[in-house]
Structure 1
Amino acid sequence: MTTITSVAPAKGTTEARATADRRRRHALLRWAFVVPALTYMALFFGYPLIRNFVMSFQHYTPKTYFTGEAPFNGLDNWRAVFANELFTDAVWHTALFTAGSLLGQFTIGLGLAVFFSRRFRLSGPIRAVLLLPWLVPMVVSAIVWRRILDQEHGMLNTVLHALGLVSADGVPWLSSPGVALTSAILVNIWIGIPFNMVILYGGLQEIPRELYEAASLDGSGPWRTFRSITLPMLRPVITVVLVLGFMSTVKILDLILALTSGGPADSTQTLGTVSYQLSFLQLDFGQGAVVGNVLILISAVFAVLYLRANRADFGKGK
């Protein structure tokens, strides 16, 4: 007679199996939340980037939309773009426009943020009024400033002439190749000041007041306090403001188009306007994609720098 003895699974094995099942369910749950975001990124960011990169190596014309034929032409588009003097000028104009805009926006924004950090009556309403340039659509702001800066009938020249600061002819703010880019920079500074002010003001509110009180007891003056306490504590916020400001300024298009259309004499052509003209005016989508790829590369480099700087600040904080 044979006796069959059943052995119950060990308790440790059962618990390990249950733990593995829980981990598997948690992993599936995490992926259930992540997959929609990854799908969205792949469809609306990944695919356009790849398509734009491929297009820069193709002879892509309006005819392609009907025939579906876009033969590869190697580096012809890239050579044509880099050999174009307009592209070289646009790179220089973009650098000047971006640097001038960031410097003005950040300096004035930081000054206003420090000013409003001292609480006083009507501080809130005044800050709300200063936000208006940021809330108005950029095209609307550009059109308004185009009327203000008009050489013959603009309000700015009228006021300056009444004060005796300019002649009756006025300053050709938008019609002179030597002045137009500066005018565009000044308008963009006006538009970007509220963003810098709001973000930097929020960063100032996070600095402990005890640090300023200790500095005052030690006899530190306003400049020494600002240099030794405010700026170091604001460094992570400053990094965010500058990098985001750079990435939004370097590719700006609507402001330039509405203000000067890239003129006069291509003196305000930037990489954004060159890409627009190549793609939608000259209908050379391949060369337009090349300029777009250059913009993407520049933005990606500064995005990496931002992430590295942010990681370094986080590591110091820990």
Structure 2
Amino acid sequence: MNIRRRAGAWAFLAPVLLYLLLFYAYPLVRNVELSLRDYTVRSFVHGDAPFAGLANYAAVLADATFWPALGHTIVFTVVSLVFQFGIGLALAVFFHRHFPLSATLRALFLVPWLLPLIVSASTWSWMLNSDSGVVNALLGWFGAGPVNWLTSPDWALWSVTLANIWIGVPFNLVVLYSGLQAISPDLHEAAALDGATGAQRFWRVTFPLLRPVSAITLLLGLVYTLKVFDIIWIMTKGGPSGASTTFATWSYRLGFGNLVPAFGPGAAVGNLLILTALVFGLLYIRRQHTP
């Protein structure tokens, strides 16, 4: 009987394990193998690339693009997370009051999250267009001059960050709102009876109880933001002059964006992104298990 139960359990697990092996484990192993060999277009097809060890990683670290791309990745990720979480939390608290039409308005806030990224990025590209964009038109009504949002090295990174914040706010809103729903109203009533103000109830009751939900929200946001490619590539392609290049766009450009692809260095940059996300994930797991 035990053997039958185990066989049944493995039968149910088999599709999931097969999916993980084919679409997660194999691509990851393949990417590591790519980064450790000197691949060209010919060797990529025929499979006879010589072993290069850590030479691709050394080439990436020595590349002049590495430090600017690292800085852009950090700025893009940190600014996106701070504003996505802050705005999402404010909206979650706002909608938690259950006023008339709150459910309808909350559903409308999900639109940016539900739209395909290519649609969202294309819309922002049109809005921020230097000549015909609606943003510069609004600035003109207030007497301000046009801004080269996507073609100026000073503004390109901030423009794609703004678009990413807009796309990520609904996710934070949904998760944090569900966390607020799980907090018992009795705790707020008890705090109010003790004389706590609204701000004190939020910082001393609501926010501490939201920490587990906040932690997973920030972790998932970090992993997602680190690998954001579509928005940046559609809006600026990492330009101008590399002003909005991140590790994600740099990895793509190395592997697929040149006439002579650099598969090994491109895979190495991708692995650095994976390693970064893994480190933060392990830190989160360790923190969760720390008493």
User: TM exceeds 0.5?
Assistant: yes
Q: How far does residue 26 in structure 1 lie from its aligned partner after superposition?
A: 3.1
Task: State how 1:197-236 maps to structure 2 within 5 Å.
Answer: 197-236=173-212
Greater than 4 Å deviation, 4+ residue runs: none
Q: Which residue of 1 aligns with 2:132?
A: 153
Indicate yes or no: 2:3 matched with 1:27: no
Q: Which residue of 2 aligns with 1:84?
A: 63
Deviations 1:120-162 (A, max 9, x none): 1111111111111111111111111111111221111111110
Q: Which residue of 2 aligns with 1:258?
A: 234
Deviations 1:27-74 (A, max 9, x none): 333333333322321222111111111111111121124432111122
Q: How far does residue 269 in structure 1 lie from its aligned partner after superposition?
A: 0.1
Larger deviation, residues 188-197 vs 28-37? 28-37
Indicate yes or no: 2:95 matched with 1:116: yes
Paired residue for 1:38, among 10, 17, 25?
17
Counterpart of 1:243 in structure 2: which amino acid?
L
Paired residue for 2:86, among 91, 104, 107?
107
- Alignment partners' CA distance in 1, 2:44 and 2:164: 36
- Alignment partners' CA distance in 2, 1:248 and 1:77: 25
Counterpart of 1:224 in structure 2: which amino acid?
Q
**What SS is found at the alignment partner of 1:239?**
helix
Paired residue for 2:47, among 57, 60, 68?
68
Deviations 1:202-261 (A, max 9, x none): 110110000010111111011110011111111111011100000000011000001111
- Alignment partners' CA distance in 1, 2:73 and 2:203: 31
Asked if 2 retains the 8 angstrom alpha-carbon contact of 1:239 and 1:309, the reply is no
Larger deviation, residues 265-274 vs 70-79? 70-79
Paired residue for 2:267, among 289, 312, 317?
289
- Alignment partners' CA distance in 1, 2:123 and 2:10: 49
Q: Which runs of 5+ in 2 are unaligned?
A: none
- Alignment partners' CA distance in 2, 1:245 and 1:96: 14
**What SS is found at the alignment partner of 2:57?**
helix
Indicate yes or no: 2:218 matched with 1:242: yes
- Alignment partners' CA distance in 2, 1:96 and 1:298: 15
- Alignment partners' CA distance in 2, 1:269 and 1:228: 40
Asked if 2 retains the 8 angstrom alpha-carbon contact of 1:239 and 1:310, the reply is no
Asked if 2 retains the 8 angstrom alpha-carbon contact of 1:77 and 1:287, the reply is yes
Counterpart of 1:298 in structure 2: which amino acid?
T
Which structure has the bigger radius of gyration? 1
- Alignment partners' CA distance in 2, 1:186 and 1:129: 19
Indicate yes or no: 2:150 matched with 1:171: no
Deviations 1:164-185 (A, max 9, x none): 2x12xx1121111111111111
Indicate yes or no: 2:278 matched with 1:300: yes
Aligned-residue CA RMSD (Å)? 1.4
Task: State how 1:188-203 maps to structure 2 within 5 Å.
Answer: 188-203=164-179
The change in CA–CA distance for 1:214 and 1:66 in structure 2 (over 3 A counts) is closer
Number of matched pairs = 289
Aligned identity (percent) is: 47
Q: Which residue of 2 aligns with 1:268?
A: 244
Q: TM-score, normalised by structure 1?
A: 0.87
- Alignment partners' CA distance in 2, 1:66 and 1:41: 25
- Alignment partners' CA distance in 1, 2:104 and 2:75: 34
- Alignment partners' CA distance in 2, 1:280 and 1:243: 29
**What SS is found at the alignment partner of 1:58?**
coil
Larger deviation, residues 72-81 vs 285-294? 72-81
Asked if 2 retains the 8 angstrom alpha-carbon contact of 1:142 and 1:255, the reply is yes
- Alignment partners' CA distance in 2, 1:181 and 1:29: 52
- Alignment partners' CA distance in 2, 1:150 and 1:32: 54
Asked if 2 retains the 8 angstrom alpha-carbon contact of 1:55 and 1:289, the reply is yes
